[in-house]
Amino acid sequence: MQSFRTEIENPVVEQDIIDLANKIELFKAGKVDEEKFRSLRLARGVYGQRQQGVQMIRIKLPYGKVLSNQLHRIADVSDEYSRGRLHITTRQDIQIHYVDLDRTPELWAELERDDVTLREACGNTVRNVTASETAGIDVKEPFDVSPYADAIFKFFLRNPICQEMGRKFKVSFSATEEDTGLSYMHDLGFIAKIKNGVRGFKVMLGGGLGSQPRHADVFYGFLESDKIIPVMEGVLRVFDRHGERKSRAKARMKFLIKDIGLDAFKKLVEEEQDAIEYKSVAIDAENYPVSIPVSVEAPTVEIEDEEAFQLWKATNVIPQKQEGYVAIGIKVLLGDFYTDKARLLADLVQNYAAGEIRLSLRQNILIPFVKADLLPFFYQELAKLGFVEAGYNKAVDITACPGTDTCNLGIASSTGIADELERVIKTEYPQYLKNEDLIIKISGCMNACGQHNAANIGFQGMSIRTPDKLVAPALQVLLGGGNKGNGQGVFADKVVKVPSRRGPEALRRILNDFETNGNGKLFVDYYLQQGEKYFYEMLKDLSDATNLTQEDFIDWGTNEAYVKAIGIGECAGVVIDLIATLFLESEEKIETAKEAFTNKVYSNAIYFAYRSMVNSAKAILLSENISTNTQAGIINTFQTEFVENNKINLGVSFSKLIYQIKNNAPTQAFAKSYIKNAEDFLEAVRVFRENEKQLVS
C-alpha cells in the first residue's frame, strides 16, 4: 500500500484506494461475502469481465471533458496495466479492459495523480453525469451547462445517500432544446432554459432503456439552477428508501415511478426537504474554470486530396458560438482507439487548440476551440492518426457496446455487426455520409448499453433456435425510435428477429424502402407512416430458422462456432457468515458517521447512522429467513416481526426511531443523538442474535 499512499494529496481519495486494496485481500481470504465485495468494487469502477480472472476498469469523466495531461495519464495507465487500448462508452467514460484485480488500487492511484477517478463509475451509484459534447460552444445554447454538470458530479461523489442504492442512477444535461443529452431516457435529465432572465432547467424524471424502456415524465417545467442539487438529493433519498432491492430487473427509478405515480413520488421528495441541509445551492458558473485556446500562427499546409478535405469539412466540422473558432469531430470506430494515438492527439490539442477533448454520447471525440484557419493543418495531422474519416455523428457513424467481446452479459456480437453495417453504408449508400438524421445503434443484449431502442434503426443481440435445437447468433431488429427534442422521444418497436448474418440484408431492405418511399421525411415519421406490420412483412422471410447455412452459426467478428454463454464472475470459493459480515458493515458505518461528525459534516454523519440501522435490521431479518425488497420494507417488517412481537425491546417504535432522519434538520445535536441510536440498536440486535444462536445450540 505504501507505494501509492504517499503520492496522493487528497486523504479521502487515499483512504478510498487503501480500503479497496484491503477489501480485495479480505475477499480473497474468504472473509468478505462475494456479493458485498462486488458492490464495493463496482462503486470503485472495477467491473467483472467476460474473460475470467481479469477486470474492466471504467474511468469517470464528467460530461466527457478530458484535459491533455489527463489523456496522457490514461494512456500511460493503459499501457502499464492493460493492453494499450481505450474504449469510449455511450456515457462519455473511458474503459480499460484486461486488468488484474490485484493491481486495480495501484492503477487508481496513478490516475488520481491527474485528478482522474474511478469512483462510482459502476455499481448502484450515481453514474457519470453526461452532457451535450457541445456544451459551452453550442451556437444555440442559452448558457453553458458544463458548470452545472460538474457541480452535480462533485456534490454526489462519495455522498452517503447514493452509495448503496438498489440500482444505478443516470443523469444528463442538454445544452439546447435539441436535447442532445437525451433527457427523456434518464433517471434525471436537465434541459437548459432561461425564464425571466433566470437560469434554470426543464427537469425530466424516471426515464430508462433496457428490456422495458420508459419515457421520462416532466418533473418540473422550469426549476431554478440553485434548486437542482436539493431536488436531486430528495429524489435520491426517496429512491434509496423506496426503490426495489430484491429483484434487479425492477430496481430502476422508472419502476418506482410507475408503481407509486409521479404525484406521490413528488410528495415524498417534498417531504424530504426538511432533512436536507442545503435548501439552495448556488452554482458559480461565472467563475467556472474553462480551457483557454492557444494563439498560434497557421502553418502552411498543402492539401493533396481537396475533395476528401471538403467532404471532411462538411461532415466533421461544427461551428462554435465563439467567433473565429470551430470544433472538429473525430469519428472513432466503435469507440476504440489506442494509446499511441491518444498521446499524439493530446499533444496536438495542447499545442494548437485549448488543451482538451470531449467524448461524445456516440462514442466519438470532439476537439473544441480550433481556429478556423488551422483546419487544413488539423486535417493533415489527424490524417496521420487515421482520424479524418468522414461522417461524424452521421448515419454511417454507428454506436455499439462491447457485446460479447468483453461484457459478461453479451449474447451476440455488437462490434462485429456494427463494423459490417458501416462497411455496407459506406460502399453501397455513400449518400448517408452526410445524413445526420438517420441514427443506427447496436447492443449485445437487452440492457441497451448501445441504446438500441432509442435509435431509428436498432439491433439487439439475441440467439435463435432451429427446429432441431441448434443455437445461432441473432439480432432483434427495432425501428422507429428517435429524439424529437425538448424532452420528447420515441422508443423503437421490436419488429422481427433475424439470424445475425442476415443483419446487413435487413438493413439494405430498410434503406432501399426509405429511399423509395421516405419522400424526404425524417425516418421517425416515415416509420410511423408505414407502420410496424409493413416492416414485419418486409423482413419476416429473413427470420426463417429452418434454412440456416453453416455460416449462420458463426457470429460477426469471429471464426468460431457460436456458443450462447454468459460470462463467469468472481467467486470467493469459501462459505462465510453473511450475518456477521452485515454486522461488521454496520460497525464500519457507525465509525464513518463518527468521522463525519468530527469533521462537522452532520448530514453525512446522520445518513451513515441511518444506513447502519437499516443494515442491522436487515441482518436480523435474514437470520430469520425473512427478506424484503426495499429499505422501507425492511423497516416496516422489522417493526412488525421484532418490536411489536416483543422479541426486541427498543423502548420505542423502530419506525419512529429510524425515521427521525426525515423529520429533523441535520444539526449537531441531532447527529450526535442519532449516532447513539444507531450504536444502541446494533448492540440490541447483536444481543438478540447471540441469544438465538445459544438457544439453537
**Per-residue model confidence as pLDDT tens digits over 321-358:** 999 999 999 999 889 999 999 999 999 999 999 999 99
Q: How far does Cα 214 stand from its chain's mean position?
A: 17
**246 in the same domain as 217:** yes
pLDDT category at 31 given cuts 50, 70, 90 is confident
Whole-structure pTM value: 0.90
Sheet holding 317-319, edge to edge: 65-67, 356-359, 365-371, 325-330, 317-319
Q: Is residue 333 assigned to a domain?
A: yes
pLDDT category at 565 given cuts 50, 70, 90 is low
Q: Is residue 391 assigned to a domain?
A: no
Question: How do residues 579-619 score in pLDDT, each as one tens digit?
Answer: 877 888 899 899 999 999 999 999 999 999 999 999 999 99
Question: How do residues 90-108 score in pLDDT, each as one tens digit?
Answer: 999 999 999 999 999 999 9
Q: Which of 108-112, 138-142, 562-566, 596-600 has the lowest mean pLDDT?
A: 562-566
Total domains in the fold of the chain = 5
Question: How many other C-beta atoms can be found within 10 angstroms of the C-beta atom of residue 338?
Answer: 16
CATH number for the domain that contains residue 345: 3.30.70.3340
Coil, strand or helix: which one is 169? strand
Q: Which of 63-72, 239-248, 480-489 has the lowest mean pLDDT?
A: 239-248
Q: Which of 538, 553, 568 is the last residue of a domain?
A: 553
**408 in the same domain as 549:** yes
Beta pairing, strands 85-88 & 365-371: unpaired
pLDDT category at 697 given cuts 50, 70, 90 is low
**585 in the same domain as 548:** no
Query: If you average pLDDT over residues 37-53, what whole number do you get?
Result: 80
Q: Is residue 268 assigned to a domain?
A: yes
| Distance in angstroms (rounded) separating the CA atoms of residues 113 and 67 | 13
Q: Is residue 612 assigned to a domain?
A: yes
Amino acid (1-letter code) at residue 86: L
**434 in the same domain as 534:** yes
Q: Is residue 87 assigned to a domain?
A: yes
pLDDT at 282 over 50: yes
Task: Please list the residues that pair with 238 across neighbouring strands.
Answer: none
Give residue 428's pLDDT: 95
Query: If you average pLDDT over residues 193-215, what whole number do you get?
Result: 95
**417 in the same domain as 352:** no
**548 in the same domain as 410:** yes
pLDDT category at 684 given cuts 50, 70, 90 is very high
Q: What is the DSSP string of 237-283?
A: HHHHHHS--S-GGG-SHHHHHHHH-HHHHHHHHHHHGGG-S-S----
Q: Which of 184-193, 277-286, 443-452, 522-531 has the lowest mean pLDDT?
A: 443-452
Give residue 2's pLDDT: 39
Q: Is residue 292 assigned to a domain?
A: no
471: containing domain = 399-553
Of all residues in the chain, the percent with pLDDT exceeding 70 is: 95
Question: How do residues 409-442 score in pLDDT, each as one tens digit?
Answer: 667 778 889 899 999 999 999 888 887 788 999 9
The three cell numbers of residue 633 are: 420494507
Amino acid (1-letter code) at residue 610: Y
CATH number for the domain that contains residue 481: 3.30.413.10
**549 in the same domain as 404:** yes
Q: Grid cell 495523480 — which residue?
A: 113
Q: How high is the mean pLDDT of the chain?
A: 91
Give residue 331's pLDDT: 94
**213 in the same domain as 148:** yes
Q: Which of 2-6, 60-64, 370-374 has the lowest mean pLDDT?
A: 2-6
Q: Which residues contact 408 (CB under 8 A, 6 or more apart)?
A: 48, 49, 50, 566, 567, 568, 569
- Dihedral in degrees, nearest 10, Cα atoms 555, 558, 559, 561: -40
Question: How do residues 375-405 score in pLDDT, each as one tens digit?
Answer: 999 999 999 999 999 989 888 788 888 766 6
Query: If you average pLDDT over residues 132-139, what whole number do you get?
Result: 98
**254 in the same domain as 176:** yes
| Distance in angstroms (rounded) separating the CA atoms of residues 74 and 114 | 9
Q: Is residue 289 assigned to a domain?
A: no
Query: If you average pLDDT over residues 13-20, what whole number do you get?
Result: 89
Question: How do residues 312-326 score in pLDDT, each as one tens digit?
Answer: 999 999 999 999 999
pLDDT category at 577 given cuts 50, 70, 90 is low
**457 in the same domain as 374:** no
CATH number for the domain that contains residue 620: 1.20.120.330
**31 in the same domain as 167:** no
Beta pairing, strands 171-174 & 130-131: parallel
Task: Please list the residues that pair with 465 across neighbouring strands.
Answer: 471
**477 in the same domain as 618:** no
- Dihedral in degrees, nearest 10, Cα atoms 329, 331, 335, 336: -110
Q: Which residues contact 564 (CB under 8 A, 6 or more apart)?
A: 411, 463, 471, 473
Q: Is residue 561 assigned to a domain?
A: no
Q: Which residues contact 256 (CB under 8 A, 6 or more apart)?
A: 206, 238, 239, 242, 243, 244, 265
Q: Grid cell 468483453 — which residue?
A: 406
Q: Which of 359, 384, 409 is the last residue of a domain?
A: 384
Task: Please list the residues that pair with 632 across neighbouring strands.
Answer: none
Q: Grid cell 487515421 — which residue?
A: 386
Angle at which helices 228-242 and 262-272 pack, to 10 degrees?
110
Give residue 408's pLDDT: 62
Q: Which residues contact 173 (CB under 8 A, 6 or more apart)?
A: 63, 129, 130, 131, 132, 135, 145, 148, 149, 181, 189, 190, 191, 192, 201
pLDDT category at 570 given cuts 50, 70, 90 is very low
| Distance in angstroms (rounded) separating the CA atoms of residues 654 and 677 | 10
Q: Which of 30-39, 256-265, 362-371 has the lowest mean pLDDT?
A: 30-39
